[in-house]
Chains A and B, each alone.
Chain A
Amino acid sequence: MSAPELLPWWVGLPVSLLLVLGGIVALTGCLGLLRLPSFYQRIHGPAITITLGTGCILIASMLYFSALQSRPVIHELLITLFVLLTAPMVSMLLMRAAVYRDQRKRRLPGEAPETGEIYPLSARPADKRAP
């Protein structure tokens, strides 16, 4: 592979900007995972990593290798496709698992569910309860 300084600046600039932006977005997603108090909030953090973060980095990769090899390199589209296919399933499964766990925990002490809300437990942060 040849050195990056062979790239013209008008390719290097967008590539670096996209990489930095993608990195910042991915970091923000992880930060959300770290700081948000309840599971139902934490599940939203990685969603931005998946969409904007991966998107930026993959576009940067396509630009960089297309310019470097002087031919269109677009097989990164496959990564996009597979990520977009699998990520929604994972978040849905995690969400449902959490909801059913909370519903079962609630049922055990014999409390009657409050009416008017779908999942009344969600109002409280999950971490307040004993693990």
Chain B
Amino acid sequence: MKRLLPSPLLSLVLLLTWLLLNQSVEPAQLLLGALLAVVAPLLSRPLQPHGYARIRRPLALLRLLSQASVEVLRSCFNVTRIILFARSEGLNSQFVRIPLDMKSPHGLAMLAAIINLTPGTVWVEILPESNELALHVFDLHDAQWWVDTVKRQYEQPLIEIFGG
């Protein structure tokens, strides 16, 4: 079972993707989708040098994603307000360093996706010597607030979910 389905979640997502693409749940489409869900992860296994991610706490992942969605919405309104009403000379766009404890590549990838999807923040890179994250913030008021928020709101749950 483990050899046939290295990542059950990925297989499930592939099956759902196939069904959504074809907009049907006929047996034939289910069969084709199941075939895709089994074969595609097996064939793409060599492309994943770190292996497939193992999610230890699915509930924590759901909670993190819902929190992140709220944060994305809030930032959307902030950025909209700044673009429409603020004077661009008053904008304090800055790079911020955030020291990270997490080393897991899957956790870092997830963190990068969340941060880049949040309007107003863009991930630059992980500084290799110190494992610090370089982050660009659209309108910076308080660098320490960003450090605390990223560490508490995102990094802690991600360490719980993917391991350090």
Interface residues of chain A, those whose CB is within 8 Å of chain B, are: 25, 28-29, 31-32, 35-38, 40-41, 43-45, 47-48, 50-52, 73-75, 77-78, 81, 84-85, 87-89, 91-92, 95-96, 99, 117-119, 122-123
> Does B17 lie within 8 Å of A81, measured CB to CB?
yes
Interface residues of B in 109-134 (CB under 8 A from A): 112-113, 115-125, 127, 134
Q: How many A-B residue pairs have CB under 8 A?
A: 108
Segment among B3-11, B52-60, B79-87, B154-162 that sits at the interface with chain A: B79-87
> Does A75 lie within 8 Å of B124, measured CB to CB?
no
> Does A75 lie within 8 Å of B23, measured CB to CB?
yes
Shortest beta-carbon distance from A57 to chain B in Å: 14
CA distance A31 to B84 in the complex (A): 8
Shortest beta-carbon distance from B66 to chain A in Å: 14
Shortest beta-carbon distance from B69 to chain A in Å: 9
User: Considering only CB atoms and an 8 Å cut-off, how many residues of chain B contact the other chain?
Assistant: 34
> Does A92 lie within 8 Å of B80, measured CB to CB?
no
Q: Please name the 5 residue pairs, one residue from A and one from B, whose CB atoms are nearest each other, closest first.
A: A88-B116, A47-B119, A32-B83, A52-B76, A44-B138
Shortest beta-carbon distance from A51 to chain B in Å: 5
Given contacts A28-B83, A92-B116, 20 further A-B contacts (CB under 8 A): A25-B76, A31-B83, A41-B91, A44-B119, A45-B83, A47-B122, A48-B83, A51-B117, A52-B72, A52-B80, A77-B20, A78-B21, A91-B123, A92-B112, A117-B95, A118-B124, A118-B127, A118-B134, A119-B134, A122-B93
> Does B83 lie within 8 Å of A78, measured CB to CB?
no
Known A-B contacts A44-B122, A51-B76; A36 and B94 likewise in contact (beta carbons under 8 Å): no
> Does A95 lie within 8 Å of B88, measured CB to CB?
no
Please give, as numbers and ranges, the residues of chain A lying within 8 Å of B72 by CB-CB distance. Answer: 51-52
Known A-B contacts A41-B138, A78-B17, A84-B117; A48 and B76 likewise in contact (beta carbons under 8 Å): yes
Is B73 close to A, CB under 8 A? yes
Shortest beta-carbon distance from B93 to chain A in Å: 5
